């Protein structure tokens, strides 16, 4: 693949001078015997440079028409990069040249072009590509139909229905279908091979493939998957010479041929047989697509097929990219790979002297104690190379084993304010929040998915909706308030759906949150109208995107630095990829509908190959080795060389054994084959490919702790670096900060630390002044909180009475500051709190002690609750059933004891000095002898009687009784006396009971006086100008004590 480097748009590229081995290969191509040559070369030996030079010489010096030249690569991404390089060099060599089209194509794209040309010449319908996502959807639908109808192949017992529903099963099934197409196997041959090679899965695969092709032939006529497309093209080439209007290339050049599939190899050979001159370059030691059926060992066989007789591949002998230490490591990895039929390229010599001394050496091996510390270490290394050693961000890369490991690295680097780039490839677009949000707007807007409560919530909370959970809760409450005011009983979910279905529904709520929701409603209405009028996919996507009004904000954020900038950048990339996907489906499936696009985007587990634009600015590349093929950087960091992670020796294809089809086809004795050795070879190829990206320095990192140790790949690098596996390789933290945020923090600590000397403080102040002048956030004292004058020094209550709530009284005793903050900025209510309210109502009003009646009362109001997730709703409903049992049992026992409800939800107010205690008692009971018991209902975990004796809430209730606050309701029932107060816990009891009571005995005169003193102390604690807070909050205490309310004050958190 070509080197991907930034170029001056006004500069004309010059061809890289060829070495002797490259010139010999080029001469053999144009002047040698046979139909072509195979050239092997280690990474960095100039294989792509050879192809570029061959194209330029063919067009400018050998008389080959530019439209008769074709460069093939295994992937679209590499073809796209290479076509730009070819165009630049041809334009530089011959400025007046006119290119008829792309000079480089993927093998699949070239195969499609050949078959399309034949179809046009014959007046037939052109073939269309069946995408991986569409194929996966077809397979999933067919498997689901088999399970539902009880039909389909007789799968072995270990491949039951649960297994067949897995994405991994469908992936292997797609792989098996591809292998059959690659090798041109019939299903009968697969059945015959099942018995011979002991594969009980193969007959079932054959039966499935027969039905799959029958169904697909009717439902997707003219569509071919990539393997079928290339196989069909290889078979078609011999007859294409006689088809008018179809012109085969005169010169075919194949880059990265080690990743060609068998059908791709057959296509190249067919072109050679048809008269094309062929150059094939590759290195079997860095093949990355063996799991897709690539046969790197075929390069050795290709040489004799193209050159005739006993022809051997040409070998490039100089690795121009790497110095001796780097080349030694790459060679060490490749030497451990099986020969793959050709190993002479491993002897390539280093192409330049070691120039990594200023960086600390060409090879460095480091460890960290955890994955998080490993990522922090990587961030420090990158920043050090950039700031101190002057290495541009774009000349550095972090390489991890697979694409799944890219996001954590990207997030860590972004958090460290390091510019980073990666691609959206490797996982379905719907897994990117911005992409999913955009597609879901269209999905719901056109009516493919109903506008239900969960969809409404998803749209509003998504990146394009603009609401957070607090804002959504506020909107739901406002809708419910309007409903209740109109004597309605509909739940908030139903009201929210109604609001988004009718854009004008929210005009009565004058709040920013409602206006944002109304914008979402208008977007959905517009999408419905456009879809009914026949709008295309890209038009609908544009409506959803433009109406969101986030483009300017995201672009501004992306131009910044840090986590926010990285998130905005990834979001913009994902949105761009969605539009690219829409364009692709329109191009490849002309009759595709909006539903076709939505199904592919939202229902498929397979990531399609998209060529969405990606960032090429100054940023560190984070990628897998396969995604970094063709990339050259000065500094490469290979991360995650931890035992069990890389190399990962888990066997591939263990469900259906699709790779065995290829081995049987090639005549390999599968019975004696060491499959783990083959997996290890693939892991070594990945390591060699990663190591060969570095030009000056290669750094390997690993986790080394109690449960992790570096892998053999890390050990090999450490040995070459001179560290050795037992050496101390944990990098000490440098004394100076490597980021502006960290530097500002260190300087501010020095400035404000009372132990700092005067000189240290002056230097810190001077440095902060310089940083502030440069606009660095946090450097100027104007950005520091706590330096302004107090807004007031007046006491909180002055001479006014202090109103206290019984339920909040103890909060004052724990932390007056937290009590105050909770008073002025109370927590938003949630569903769990709502359950308590419903249970309280049941206890206060019901007299029927049956569980069914209690549960009916709770369930009647259940729809009022809104949960953040279905699992939480299910969990809380199970708890609520326990509450119902506890309530019912208590009501039954209270009735049996002769206690009746004297009052429920009884309000009271008592004045005691400056304190005004006011509240609501859940339940007041009176027995036949006039004893009055005060009940406070709790749905939390029970407390002991000892705790209840000092409970301030119960004490306040008993004080209210003693002061006659309840006499008005109790006197009407006759004489009465105090019987104490109780906390009623309906969640769980003891000794098999469903509820539990914690009792506070009757407070005598002394106890009441003691409680009055507590009131006076509470008033004294809050009727002041400065409130004290708890210095240490018990982490194992109740939630009210664990909550640091001070962080809800914006100036404390820095949120203006």
**364 within 8 A of 699, measured Cβ to Cβ:** yes
Q: Is 49 annotated as a binding residue?
A: no
Cα 473 to the center of its chain, rounded Å: 26
Q: Is 313 annotated as a binding residue?
A: no
**908 within 8 A of 918, measured Cβ to Cβ:** yes
Q: Which residues pair with 804 in a beta bridge?
A: 917
d(CA 524, CA 446): 8
Say what angle helices 512-532 and 492-501 make with each other, to 10 degrees. 60
How many Cα atoms within 13 Å fall on the side-chain side of residue 386? 21
- Token representation of residue 423: 């691609």
- Token representation of residue 301: 């066989």
Peptide bond preceding 647: is omega within 30 degrees of 0, i.e. cis?
yes
Q: Which residues contact 9 (CB under 8 A, 6 or more apart)?
A: none
Q: Is 102 annotated as a binding residue?
A: no
d(CA 699, CA 643): 17
* DSSP run (H or E) holding 903: strand 900-912
Residue 190: Cβ-neighbour burial (10 angstroms; 0-12, 13-18, 19+): buried
CA-based max dimension of the chain:
121
Q: How far separated are the first and last CA of the chain, in Å rounded?
A: 50
Q: Is 222 annotated as a binding residue?
A: no
d(CA 350, CA 369): 34
Burial 20-45 (b: 16+ CB within 10 A, else e): ebbebbbebbbebebbbbbbbbbbbb
d(CA 188, CA 194): 10
d(CA 381, CA 1010): 64
* DSSP run (H or E) holding 137: helix 132-149
The per-residue DSSP string of 30-58 comes to: HHSSSSEEEEEE-TTS-HHHHHHHHHHHH
- Token representation of residue 189: 């041959």
Q: Is 755 annotated as a binding residue?
A: no
Q: Whose structure tokens read 């719901």?
A: 444
Sign of CA dihedral 681, 685, 691, 695: positive
**336 within 8 A of 684, measured Cβ to Cβ:** yes
Q: What are the residue ranges of helices labelled H in 157-225?
A: 161-164, 167-183, 187-197, 201-219
Q: Is 48 annotated as a binding residue?
A: yes
Closest CA to 1021 of 816, 735, 751, 762: 816
d(CA 499, CA 197): 63
Residue 859: Cβ-neighbour burial (10 angstroms; 0-12, 13-18, 19+): middle
- Token representation of residue 527: 């999408």
Sign of CA dihedral 449, 454, 460, 464: negative
> Do strands 363-368 and 694-703 pair parallel, antiparallel, or not at all (unpaired)?
parallel
Q: Is 43 annotated as a binding residue?
A: yes
Q: Whose structure tokens read 């807004």?
A: 791
Q: Is 806 annotated as a binding residue?
A: no
**279 within 8 A of 255, measured Cβ to Cβ:** no
Residue 468 has phi, psi (to 5 degrees) of: -105, 180
d(CA 778, CA 773): 11
**281 within 8 A of 45, measured Cβ to Cβ:** no
Binding residues for ATP, as ranges, are 41-48
Binding residues, as ranges, are 41-48
């Amino acid at each position: 693949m070509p080197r991907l480097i930034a170029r001056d748009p006004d500069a004309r590229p010059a061809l890289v001078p060829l070495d002797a081995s490259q010139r010999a290969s080029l001469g053999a191509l144009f002047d040698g015997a046979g139909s072509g040559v195979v050239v092997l070369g280690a990474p960095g030996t100039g294989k792509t440079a050879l192809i570029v030079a061959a194209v330029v010489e063919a067009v400018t010096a050998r008389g080959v028409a530019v439209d008769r030249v074709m460069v093939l690569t295994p992937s679209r991404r590499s073809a796209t990069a290479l076509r730009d390089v070819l165009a630049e060099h041809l334009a530089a060599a011959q400025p007046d040249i006119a290119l008829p089209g792309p000079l480089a194509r993927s093998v699949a794209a070239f195969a499609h072009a050949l078959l399309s040309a034949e179809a046009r010449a014959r007046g037939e319908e052109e073939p269309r590509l069946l995408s991986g996502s569409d194929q996966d959807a077809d397979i999933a639908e067919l498997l689901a139909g088999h399970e539902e109808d009880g039909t389909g192949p007789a799968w072995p017992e270990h491949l039951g229905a649960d297994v067949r529903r897995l994405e991994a099963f469908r992936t292997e099934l797609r792989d098996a279908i591809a292998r059959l197409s690659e090798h041109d196997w019939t299903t009968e041959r697969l059945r015959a091979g099942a018995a011979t090679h002991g594969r009980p899965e193969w007959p079932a695969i054959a039966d499935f493939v027969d039905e799959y092709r029958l169904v697909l032939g009717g439902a997707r006529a003219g569509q071919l998957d990539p393997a079928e497309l290339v196989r069909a093209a290889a078979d078609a080439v011999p007859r294409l010479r006689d088809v008018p209007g179809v012109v085969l290339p005169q010169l075919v050049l194949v880059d990265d041929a080690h990743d060609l599939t068998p059908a791709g190899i057959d296509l190249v050979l067919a072109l050679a047989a048809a008269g094309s001159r062929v150059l094939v370059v590759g290195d079997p030691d860095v093949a990355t697509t063996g799991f897709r059926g690539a046969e790197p060992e075929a390069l050795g066989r290709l040489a004799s097929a193209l050159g005739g007789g006993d022809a051997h591949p040409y070998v490039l002998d100089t690795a121009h990219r790497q110095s001796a230490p780097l080349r030694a490591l790459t060679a060490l990895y490749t030497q451990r790979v099986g020969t793959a039929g050709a190993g002479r390229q491993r002897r390539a010599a280093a192409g330049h002297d070691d120039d990594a001394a200023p960086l600390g050496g060409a090879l460095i091996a480091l460890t960290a104690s955890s994955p998080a510390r490993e990522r922090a270490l990587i961030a420090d290394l990158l920043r050090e190379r950039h700031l101190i050693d002057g290495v541009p961000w774009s000349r550095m890369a972090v390489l991890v084993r697979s694409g799944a490991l890219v996001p954590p690295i990207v997030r860590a680097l972004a958090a460290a304010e390091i510019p980073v780039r990666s691609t959206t490839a490797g996982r379905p677009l719907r897994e990117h929040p911005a992409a999913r949000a955009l597609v879901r707007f269209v999905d719901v807007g056109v009516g493919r998915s109903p506008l239900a409560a969960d969809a409404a919530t998803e749209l509003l909370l998504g990146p394009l909706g603009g609401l957070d959970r607090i804002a959504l809760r506020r909107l739901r409450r406002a809708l419910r308030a309007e409903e209740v005011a109109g004597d309605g009983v509909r739940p908030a979910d139903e009201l929210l759906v109604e609001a988004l279905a009718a854009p004008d529904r929210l005009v009565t709520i004058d709040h920013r949150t409602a206006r944002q929701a109304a914008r979402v409603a208008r977007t959905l209405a517009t999408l419905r109208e456009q879809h009914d009028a026949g709008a295309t996919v890209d038009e609908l996507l544009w409506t959803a995107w433009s109406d969101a009004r986030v483009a300017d904000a995201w672009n501004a954020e992306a131009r910044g630095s840090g986590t926010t900038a990285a998130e905005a950048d990834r979001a913009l990339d994902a949105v761009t990829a969605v539009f690219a996907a829409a364009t692709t489906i329109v191009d490849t499936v002309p009759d595709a509908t909006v539903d076709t696009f939505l199904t592919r985007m939202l229902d498929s587990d397979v990531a399609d190959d998209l060529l969405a634009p990606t960032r090429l600015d100054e940023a560190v590349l984070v990628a897998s080795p396969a995604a970094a093929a063709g990339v050259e950087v000065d500094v490469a960091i290979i991360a995650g060389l931890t035992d069990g992670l890389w190399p990962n020796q888990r066997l591939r294809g263990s469900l259906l054994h699709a790779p065995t089809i290829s081995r049987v086809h090639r005549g390999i004795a599968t019975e004696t084959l060491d499959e783990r050795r083959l997996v290890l070879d693939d892991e070594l190829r990945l390591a060699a490919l990663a190591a060969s990206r570095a030009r000056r320095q290669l750094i390997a990192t690993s986790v080394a702790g109690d449960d992790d140790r570096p892998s053999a790949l890390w050990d090999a690098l450490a040995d070459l670096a001179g560290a050795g596996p037992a050496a101390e390789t944990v990098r000490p933290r440098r004394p100076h900060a490597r980021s502006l945020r960290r530097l500002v923090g260190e300087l501010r600590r020095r400035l404000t630390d009372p132990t700092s000397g005067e000189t240290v403080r002056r230097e810190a102040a001077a440095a902060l002044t310089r940083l502030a002048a440069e606009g660095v956030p946090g450097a100027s004292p104007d950005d520091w909180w706590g330096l302004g004058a107090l807004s007031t020094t007046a006491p909180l209550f002055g001479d006014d009475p202090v109103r206290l709530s019984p339920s909040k009284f103890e909060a004052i005793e724990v932390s007056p500051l937290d009590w105050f903050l909770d008073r002025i900025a109370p927590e938003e209510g949630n569903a769990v709190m709502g359950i308590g309210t419903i249970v309280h109502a049941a206890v206060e009003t019901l007299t029927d002690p049956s569980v069914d009646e209690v549960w009916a009362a709770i369930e009647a109001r259940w729809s009022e609750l809104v949960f953040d997730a279905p699992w939480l709703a299910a969990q809380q409903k199970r708890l609520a059933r326990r509450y119902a049992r506890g309530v019912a049992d208590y009501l039954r026992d209270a009735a049996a004891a002769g206690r009746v409800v004297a009052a429920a939800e009884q309000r009271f107010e008592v004045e005691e000095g400056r304190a005004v205690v006011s509240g609501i008692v859940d339940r007041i009971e009176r027995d036949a002898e006039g004893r009055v018991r005060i009940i406070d209902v709790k749905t939390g975990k029970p407390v002991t009687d000892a705790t209840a004796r000092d409970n301030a809430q119960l004490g306040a209730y008993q004080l209210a009784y003693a002061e006659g606050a309840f006499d008005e309701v109790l006197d009407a029932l006759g004489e009465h006396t105090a019987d104490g107060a109780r906390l009623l816990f309906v969640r769980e009891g003891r000794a098999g009971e469903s509820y539990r009571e914690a009792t506070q005995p009757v407070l005598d005169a002394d106890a009441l006086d003691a409680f009055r003193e507590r009131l006076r102390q509470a008033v004294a604690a809050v009727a002041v100008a400065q409130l004290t807070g708890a210095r240490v909050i018990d982490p194992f205490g109740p939630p009210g004590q664990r909550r640091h309310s001070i962080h809800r004050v914006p100036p404390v958190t820095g949120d203006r």
